[in-house]
Each structure stands twice: as structure tokens, then as C-alpha cells.
Amino acid sequence: MILVSKTQIKLITSLQQKKYRNKLGLFVAEGPKVINELITAKLQLHSLYSTVDGLFEGETVQIVSEKELSKITALKNANNSLAVFKIPDKKPYVENGITVVLDAIQDPGNLGTIIRLCDWFDVKNLICSLNTVDCFNPKVIQATMGSIVRVNIVYTAIEEFILERNSPVYIGAMNGKNIYKENLPDKAIIIVGNEANGVSTNIINLVGNKVAIPQFGVNKKTESLNVATATAILLSEFKRITVS
Amino acid sequence: MILVSKTQIKLITSLQQKKYRNKLGLFVAEGPKVINELITAKLQLHSLYSTVDGLFEGETVQIVSEKELSKITALKNANNSLAVFKIPDKKPYVENGITVVLDAIQDPGNLGTIIRLCDWFDVKNLICSLNTVDCFNPKVIQATMGSIVRVNIVYTAIEEFILERNSPVYIGAMNGKNIYKENLPDKAIIIVGNEANGVSTNIINLVGNKVAIPQFGVNKKTESLNVATATAILLSEFKRITVS
């Protein structure tokens, strides 16, 4: 059994932090399912560790003990395999159908779910404000279930991004127009915002076109919809019209 | 400063387990927002602990230190207040519009999100199979944001429940009919199932009427939609028709 060196442990655990991911151009994925999806998507493997032999055909796997794996995992309960991948080269934004824009999403689970939703609804581009959680955060990678390789994720100043576009822009907001009553286009930009504060005021002032998922019933007391849940419904509304 | 006794600590931490919640008829809620929502909904308070004075008007609050709170919290980072409430009396099921049925949902976050969705979409009744995670689980209570008091949650044998109903039944399933092409009724039962396995075969054999949220694009590789996300879209589809 090959031991995981201290240098390897230091490298891998450092990748839990964004600054080291960016510096080294590497990120970590855990669990055989996600790892295999990333391998299939031709992401470049840096190193691969597993407590089980034979899970990754044609790849060089370093077999490790449970104890060794526990030293490099970012999860509470390690899922038998951990891989380090090279962060893929950035691809340019090419407008195509619906584009989703995220304004300061903080929760990795929410970002992961939204990436998975974009993949499901064939949204090619996901634009993230510079203060949105990093998509190569280990928790995001776990939540995406491999969808991360099929959605082009671009971090940029979203105000400028929006100003440069010609497509109609829609902001998800509690006090917007009833989305169910709108005639939605098949080419559009949808902006959803931070978990606590929603889309920021400067973006709202820039765009103005707010849409809401109405609350039903007479006793309207629900706090709000979770941002990932709201994004699911908004995307469903924009995409259902394309079903003939 | 009053100290939290060992007996109190033992009582409160025991409520992290379902068997003690059922035995004692009590559950825990944390954080001033959720606690205040439950108080407003007239749930009976058993005891209330806070590191901050003046958060709960008209209630007897035991002021505790951060250290004491850390001994009774179920959260990684305690949110300044913890309350013990009596589990409210069970209410009978009275059919009304859309009823959601859960088959073996395991993740507390998913159940919490679905409860919040029911509240948003004015679904009065949420029926849970006996092997669905307990709705008074602390993680569920945190995720519901107070919606738990506005949705009637009934744990029962769902096969029998379904057999006793006359309303049309829809099962959320990957291989179902395209939901966007269905003429949906305003009175129906929607069943969604376990995170890994979906709705169980015996229920599918019983009902047969499967609906799916179609996957878009030519390269259909997304694993699946998360069950809470799928429920959001299904509920949106059933409720949007009622918007005139």
C-alpha cells in the first residue's frame, strides 16, 4: 500500500480554499459517481485516490486506507474515492436561448442545485457575479452531480454583462409581475439574487423588469421560496413554452 | 444568570431523537425567527432559552450563556435562542385542492423545503409515508422557516390512503408523461418518492399515472432533478392553471 505523503495531503486540503484552487488551477471531486462523470467529460485528471480497486477503468489510481482518505477528504464521511482535476480552460460566452445570471449566491448547495437545473433545462451559460460562491468549491462539485461539465460557468461583473446584452432581462423578485401571466420569450436573461437580500438594488435599477412566482392562498405568510427552488420554477416557465 | 440544569440538557438533547420526541410530545426549534413564527402560530411553549434578552415579548425566557446554549443546540453554530414546544395535536385529513404525498423521503432538508413549498402553493395537506423522515426533526424545523404550522402533515400508510381517495393521482417519475402537455385538474393527489429510488413499485402498480418534467436539449445526461426541486415544478404546474 502506497502512503499518501504529507506534501500530497497539504496540496489536496489546500484545495478546499478558493485562493489555492485558483493559484494551482486544480480542484477536488469526491465519490466514484461524480469522479467518473468528470473523467467521461474528458476533464484532465491530476491524481486519483481510492480505498477500492477497480472503480476507474484505465486510470492510475493510488489505493489508500480509510484513514489516509479521511486526512484528505472535505466531507464528513468520505465516499471511498477522491480525485484532483485540473480546472478546465475558460470558454467564451456565446449567447444561446436562456442565460441565467446569479447575483451574490452564497450557499454552495444552492449553486450546485442551480447548475444541475441549468443542465436539465439546457441552459448553456450560467453567469455568476464575482461575489458568488466559487463553482469549484467541493460542496458545489458534490451538489452538481457532474452537471458542472455541461454548463459554461462565467464569473464576471454582472452589471457590465447585462449592459452589453440585447436580449430581454427578467429579475426574479418577490414584488415582480406574476410570471404565469407573462408572455415569455425563448431567448432571455434571468437574474436571481442572494439568499437573504435578493437581486441587488443597482441591478434592479438597471433592468427594472421584475417577475415573481405568486404566493397562493388567502393566508400568505410563507417567508419566501428558496433561491434554487425559485430558479427551478422560473426555468420551467421559460422552457415549457418550447414544448410543442 | 440562571444555569441550565443537567436534567434540562438531557431533556433537550434527547429531543434530537424521534423516539423521545414522540414519548415526550415535545420538539425543539432554534433561532429567533423560527421560534417567533411558532409562537405567533399559537404553538404551546414548553421552555425558551436565549443568550439575548428582549427577543420574545411576553414570554418567559431563560437567559443562558453561549457555552450553555452550545450544550443544548443541535446546530453546528447555535443561533442565540432555542425553544422547546409541545407537538401540536394531530388534525384530521380534509381533502382540499392539491394533496402532496411523500414516499420515503429521507433528507430533512428536502422535507423542510417541500413543507415550505406546500405552504407557498396553498397545499393544505402533506401526507408522509411512515418511513419518511420525521417532520419534527430539528433540521426539518430549521428548513421549514415556520411553514410547518400552516401545513397539515399526516404520517400514515400511503397505499391505504391512496386507495381511499377518489381524486386523480399523479406520480412524479422520470419515465412519465410530459407534464407540460397534460390537462391538470385543480383537485389531485401528487406523489413524489425517495431521493435514490423514486416512488416505490407497489405504489406505481397501484396508480400507474406517471408524469415527468422533461429534460431539455439533445445531450440529456443530467442525473435527475432533486426531489424538492421536482416538487416545486410539479406544484407550479398544478397551481398555475388557477391563475386567471
Work out the burial of residue A232: count CB atoms within 10 Å of its CB; fewer than 13 is exposed, 13-18 middle, 19 or more buried.
buried
pLDDT band at B169, cuts 50/70/90?
very high
Q: What is the pLDDT of residues A76-124, one digit of tens each?
A: 888 999 999 999 999 999 999 999 999 999 999 999 999 999 999 999 9
Under an 8 Å CB criterion, which residues of B touch A? Answer: 113, 116-117, 119-122, 145-147, 150, 178, 180-181, 213-217, 219, 221-223, 225-226, 228-229, 232-233, 236-237, 239-240, 242-243
Chain A residues lying within 8 Å of B214, measured CB to CB: 243
Concatenated DSSP letters of B78-141 = --SEEEEEEPPPP------SEEEEEES---HHHHHHHHHHHHHTT--EEEE-TTSPPTTSHHHH
According to DSSP, the residues that pair with A210 across neighbouring strands are A171
Report the alpha-carbon distance of residue B219 to residue A225 in Å, rounded: 30
Report the alpha-carbon distance of residue B27 to residue B16 in Å, rounded: 8
For residues B3-32, one letter each, b for 16 or more C-beta atoms within 10 angstroms of the residue's C-beta and e for the rest, the string is: ebeeebeebbeebbeeebbeeeebbbbbbe
8 A C-beta contact, residue A133 and residue A114: no
Report the alpha-carbon distance of residue A143 to residue A197 in Å, rounded: 23
Q: What's the mean per-residue pLDDT of chain A?
A: 93
Report the alpha-carbon distance of residue A69 to residue A72 in Å, rounded: 5
Closest CA to A148 of A136, A158, A157, A133: A136
Q: Which residue has the higher pLDDT, B45 or A75?
A: B45
pLDDT band at B78, cuts 50/70/90?
confident
Nearest to B113 among A119, A147, A229 (CB): A229
Q: Does position A66 have pLDDT exceeding 60, yes or no?
A: yes
Nearest to B233 among A113, A116, A232 (CB): A232
Nearest to B233 among A119, A181, A236 (CB): A236
Q: What is the CATH number of domain A6-86?
A: 3.30.1330.30
pLDDT at residue A116, rounded to an integer: 94
Report the alpha-carbon distance of residue A232 to residue A171 in Å, rounded: 14
Contact B117 A145 (CB under 8 A): no
Nearest to B215 among A120, A214, A223 (CB): A120
Contact B225 A180 (CB under 8 A): no
Q: What is the pLDDT of residues A49-62, one digit of tens each?
A: 999 999 998 999 99
Helix (H) or strand (E) holding B161, with range, is helix B158-163
Q: What's the mean per-residue pLDDT of chain B?
A: 93
Chain centroid to Cα B223, Å, comes to: 24
pLDDT at residue B142, rounded to an integer: 87
Q: Does position A222 have pLDDT exceeding 70, yes or no?
A: no
According to DSSP, the residues that pair with A99 across neighbouring strands are A125, A189
Chain A residues lying within 8 Å of B122, measured CB to CB: 215-217
Q: Which residue of B has its CA nearest to A236?
A: B233
Which amino acid belongs to residue A234?
L
Q: In chain B, at which residue ranges do the beta strands (DSSP E only) sit?
A: 26-30, 45-50, 62-63, 81-86, 98-103, 125-128, 152-155, 169-178, 188-193, 210-212
Q: Does position B23 have pLDDT exceeding 70, yes or no?
A: yes
Nearest to A120 among B117, B178, B225 (CB): B225
Q: What is the CATH number of domain B98-240?
A: 3.40.1280.10
Mutating which of A236, A237, A238 best tests the B interface, going by the most B Cβ atoms within 10 A? Answer: A236
Chain B residues lying within 8 Å of A237, measured CB to CB: 236, 240
Q: In chain A, at which residue ranges do the beta strands (DSSP E only) sit?
A: 26-30, 45-50, 62-63, 81-86, 98-103, 125-128, 152-155, 169-178, 188-193, 210-212
Mutating which of A240, A241, A242, A244 best tests the B interface, going by the most B Cβ atoms within 10 A? Answer: A240
8 A C-beta contact, residue A82 and residue A49: yes
Cα four-point dihedral sign A135, A138, A139, A144: positive
Q: Which residue of A has its CA nearest to B234?
A: A233
SS3 content of chain A, % helix, strand, coil (to 5): 35, 20, 45
Q: Does position B193 have pLDDT exceeding 60, yes or no?
A: yes
Q: Percentage of residues in chain B with pLDDT exceeding 70? A: 97
Q: pTM for this one? A: 0.91
The segment(s) of chain B belonging to CATH 3.40.1280.10 are 98-240
pLDDT band at B144, cuts 50/70/90?
confident
Report the alpha-carbon distance of residue B43 to residue A44 in Å, rounded: 55
Q: What is the pLDDT of residues A25-48, one digit of tens each?
A: 999 999 998 999 899 888 999 999
